[in-house]
Homo-oligomer: A and B are copies of this chain.
Amino acid sequence: MRLSHLFTRTLREAPRDSEGRNYELLVRAGFIRQLAAGVYSFLPLGNRVLRKIADLLRSELERAGGQEVMLPILQPRELWEQPPLNGGLSRAEAYGAELFSLQDRKGRDLVLGATHEEVITLLASEFITSYRDLPQRPFQVHIRFRDQRRPRGGLLRTREFVMLDLYTFDADPESMDESYRVVREACQAALERCGLRFLLVDADSGAIGGKDSQEFFVPIEAGEDDALICDQCGYAANREKAEFVRDPVGTDEALEALEEVYTPGVKTIAELAEFLHVPEERTLKCVCYTAGGRSVIAVLRGDLELNEVKLTNVLTRAKLDVSDLHLATPEELARSGIVAGFTSPLDKDDSILIVADHSITQGRNFVAGANRIDYHVTHVNYPRDFRVAILDDIASAYDGASCARCGGSLHMVRGCEVGHIFKLGTRYSDVFHATFLAADGTSRPLLMGCYGIGVSRILAALVEQRSDEKGLVWPLRVAPYHVALVGFDMDKETTRTAAERLYADLQAEGVETLFDDRIESPGVKLNDADLIGVPLRVVVSKRSLKNGGVELKWRHEKEGKIIALDEAARTIRDLVQKRLHETES
């Protein structure tokens, strides 16, 4: 491809509306353009990278028994409104405003597919009748839609994106686990071949449902998620999910008597700790919610942070309707007799659901609210002074927390998930009556798994991880072109002829070449070559020709080397093939 005719434009300056590194570089290098918030056009360079990533994923998943399909984007909304059989949110409720909704000309309610569990389960219920048909692993690479509240971070968080989703159907939990292992390994292999650094972390199942789930987590500064990793045993989990040990504080103290203290205007834990000269871990934090019309007080040790995802899961397991879970309003607090800012777990009847974190058992003589304006109570002890309906894990792990598996130290890493995989069990097959005839002649629901990999997000993550101050740095396997042929002095006969000849030779050798044939200064050309980030740069200049040929330089190298013009095309082809082979093995 000739750069002079490429349908794009490189920019010297970062766009004004920069959304961070991948946005800035991909726009400047002419890979993408933004049409609306979180909605992008992929230009020829960007589209080539996207296709290469998708093809890598395809080939790995086909090897793992995947069969490619293409499912509809328009879906009847009613499919999304089926609640899970064991209660909990329907998918429409779980996605809420993230689900793009519309009506057709006849007034029928449709949604734009965010994922395809419903559609694939309907198909599976027709196609799979016997255990002999199993396992099945259909997948697709397709556009997906989510009306993000804050689309940002360039291609990291968009409203329209390219995703690969695979679904597994199996006869029993063991086979489901085996499918999960096979597909997870295929995804890992594909991500590795893409040149991405990532971790596999335990995750929350969120709106997809099901039990076990893991994420392919990419450590990048621009991410909006945190993962906690144990250096000792290797345990790794998303912060929404990460388990940790509550370190005991003063658990050997004697229980002292309750005492009300005057704490004028002291409302936050930080103010309280300062006012009473106690560390935060000697206080109890109360956060008030409403769910299903009922007041919920979440109680945890004051040094910890409440984890809403964990709380939601705990309430769901307790069969509470969490579709409207929200921080209690002043009216709701008043109705339940709760004094805002001085909320107390003490003296509550069963109309209020108290959910406490395990941390309240790892300490004594806490300070807590007195449920009276400007007063707190000291020496609060559980279970001596108050009852809780649920005692569970509702606090967020933190950097330096103790690993729940081995007691080692967890450290927190910022990043972003590029893939999320789930053991769904019978969450969807129950709803859509997707059963099969088992070997023993009984009819059983299919066991499902689902696996989503963000193709456009992988592209963004590669930029976040690998770019440098000069621009993009593509791994050979997903680079838009393998070779950037840069001709200096294209208005001079000697250099132009040599560059054009080498371009023709490279094409004849089947080398993917981006040929900068523009009449521009060497500086502009080298800057653009670095910005676009094609792995192998080949410069044809008066100097290189005088030195005996053309100059070869990999993107990461400081210095190039000269090779003879006559053998250049073949040498370059062999170099690229060798490098491709190396990254493969």
Contact = CB atoms under 8 A, between A and B. Distances in A.
Interface of A: 1, 4-9, 33, 35-36, 39-44, 46-48, 50, 67-76, 97-98, 100-102, 104-105, 108, 110, 112, 119, 122-124, 126-127, 132-133, 136, 138, 140, 143, 145, 147, 149, 159-160
This chain: how many copies in the complex? 2
Given A74-B159, A102-B112, 13 more contacts: A7-B67, A35-B74, A35-B122, A36-B75, A39-B75, A41-B70, A46-B70, A74-B100, A74-B160, A98-B105, A100-B102, A101-B102, A104-B147
10 contacts: A7-B69, A36-B74, A41-B70, A41-B71, A42-B70, A42-B71, A43-B69, A50-B70, A72-B160, A97-B105
A48 B47 CA distance: 21
A47 B70 contact: yes
A379 B138 CA distance: 73
A140 B105 CA distance: 27
A69 B97 contact: no
Contact of A100 (B42, B104, B119, B136): B104
A75 B8 contact: no
Nearest to A8: B127
A483 to B, nearest CB: 18
Contact of A126 (B33, B73, B98): B33
Residue with the greatest number of chain B CB neighbours at <10 A, chosen from A35, A70, A102, A145: A70
Given A36-B72, A39-B72, A7 B127 contact: yes
A530 to B, nearest CB: 21
Q: Per DSSP, are chain A's interface residues mostly helix, strand or loop, or mixed?
A: mixed
Given A42-B69, A73-B160, A138-B7, A33 B145 contact: no
Contact of A47 (B68, B112, B124): B68
A46 B41 CA distance: 27
A260 B402 CA distance: 104
Contacts of A133: 4-5
A585 B123 CA distance: 40
Contact of A35 (B4, B33, B76): B76
A68 B52 CA distance: 13
A126 B15 CA distance: 14
A123 B70 contact: no
Nearest to A126: B9
3 tightest Cβ-Cβ pairs between the two chains A and B = A102-B102, A42-B70, A97-B105
B72 A35 contact: yes
A69 B44 CA distance: 5
A126 B143 CA distance: 26
A160 B110 CA distance: 13
A512 to B, nearest CB: 13
Contacts of A126: 9, 33
